[in-house]
Amino acid sequence: MMEGIPFFDAFSEQEKQRLAERGHCFESFKDGDVIIQEGDMGDSDLFVILTGSAYVRKDDYPDNIIAYLEAGAIIGEAAFLVGGRRRMASVIAQGDVNVFKIDRTTMEQFDCSFQLKVTRLLVVIIVERLEKMNEALAELMG
């Protein structure tokens, strides 16, 4: 299921195999299930959408969709990188969704070079999202 997902392209076959062997990494969600709940602090899991789609919303404005996410999207990266952060938005499954999930404890079992690779990938994702947000804000401001 990892094949064809850009996030995993940076990893060797051996690294992908080690990731997949690390326990409960694959989860399924049904239409309307909450994958990430805004405000939660307890978990800092990182999710990669393998199949299906989801949408992002702020719970105070449930009818306003912030983003639509397809297979390959990464979610939960901020809480994963910086433990102890509240989840900034909710992510809701749209139809059947399969995800790859990894927690911080599992990540700490990998060597430093692997952890650095993951961190760099997540930083690139965060920077790209900030760029999109800045562009959208600039458009709104005219």
Structural domains in the chain plus CATH codes: 6-141 (2.60.120.10)
pTM: 0.87
Which residues, given as ranges, of the chain have pLDDT below 70?
23-24
Estimate to the nearest angstrom the gap between the alpha carbon of 27 and the chain centroid: 13
Share the mean pLDDT of the chain: 90
Residue 93 · residue 33 · CB < 8 Å: yes
Identity of residue 53: S
- pLDDT for residue 140: 86
Count helices and strands in the chain by DSSP H and E runs:
4, 6
Model pLDDT, residue 24:
63
